[in-house]
Every structure is written in structure tokens, then in C-alpha cells.
Amino acid sequence: MPEAYIGLGSNLGREHEGIYESPQTQLDTALKKIAQQPQINLIKVSSFFRTNAIGPGEQPDYINAAAKVKTSLSAHQLLDFLQLLENRQGRIRTLRWGARTLDLDILLYDQIVENSERLTIPHPRLHERAFVLAPLVDLDPQLAIPNRENVSRLLASCSLQGVVKLPD
């Protein structure tokens, strides 16, 4: 089965059925839904990291993580499933890089390199973003990015300012 790495992020909570769900709860809920998908085997989840928001305007900090999965879904089927989860958890796509309840990205899918209109793997700018690399290093410091170095070396080239590993 193909192996994939999924990036998770949230910097907005939401009220759901009268209960406030924090960004951390948003990630926990998404991970539970991923684990319940019969065609996905959730192998490992990184620690959660609090990171500074990158994007327009004043935004709350993000909670970021990464998950390693094995799946019988194709990369495009996995993308469809992840976007469905985002929508179900209140994701509204209005402003690029704006605040969001949930952001799920396919970071890597096996060692495939794809650059289509709908999907780019490895995820664009993955190699230069500490908020993505820190959770990947937490999962596997020697993880190789196609056509690049491993995640530990890439993270060493990034500023870690504003990236804080949260207690487990």
C-alpha cells in the first residue's frame, strides 16, 4: 500500500452542537476521521506544534501536526477525502492563506512527484516551511523528500522562530 504524509493545521475553532472546538480539537477530530476511513491505516501522528500564522492580516497562531498513513486510495482519492473532512469541519475557502478551521494537505505520497492543476506532490514550499518540516522531523528525521534532502537537513536551514512543540 502506498505511504503518505498528511499535514494538518488549524487556527480557528468553531462551535459545533453547542460545544466550542479549539484548533487542537479540530486536529484531533480530523485524525479520528482519518483513522476511521477503512482505506486508510493511520500509522503515526507527530506531536502538535504551535506556529506563527503566515498569511494576510492578523491571524491567531496555528496548531500544526503531521500524520503518516498507508492507504489504498490514490493520491487524488485521498485529496477528495481530505477536502471532504475540511468541509465537514467548517472550512470556508474565501481568502488564500487566510485563517481556517482545518487545513489538510498531502505532503508526500510515496516518492511520487506530480504537478497537475489539482495536486502538487511534494507539497509546494514544504522544503522551506518550518511549520511543516518540524512535525515531519518528529515523525521521521531521515524522511527523504523527492529531489531534495531529508527533512532534518531541510529544517536546519529554516528559522524556528515561532515554532513551539506542545506537550503530548
Q: Which residues carry out catalysis? A: 91, 100, 103, 105
Amino acid at 14: R
Separation between Cα atoms, residue 67 and residue 47, nearest integer Å: 10
CA distances from 135 to 4, 13, 76, 80, 160 (A): 14, 21, 23, 23, 12
CB of 63 closer than 8 Å to CB of 47? no
How many C-beta atoms surround the C-beta of residue 17 within 10 A? Answer: 5
Grid cell, residue 166, equals: 506542545
How many C-beta atoms surround the C-beta of residue 118 within 10 A? Answer: 9
3-state secondary structure labels for all residues of 82-119? HHHHHHHCCCCCCCCCCCCCCEEEEEEECCCCEECCCC
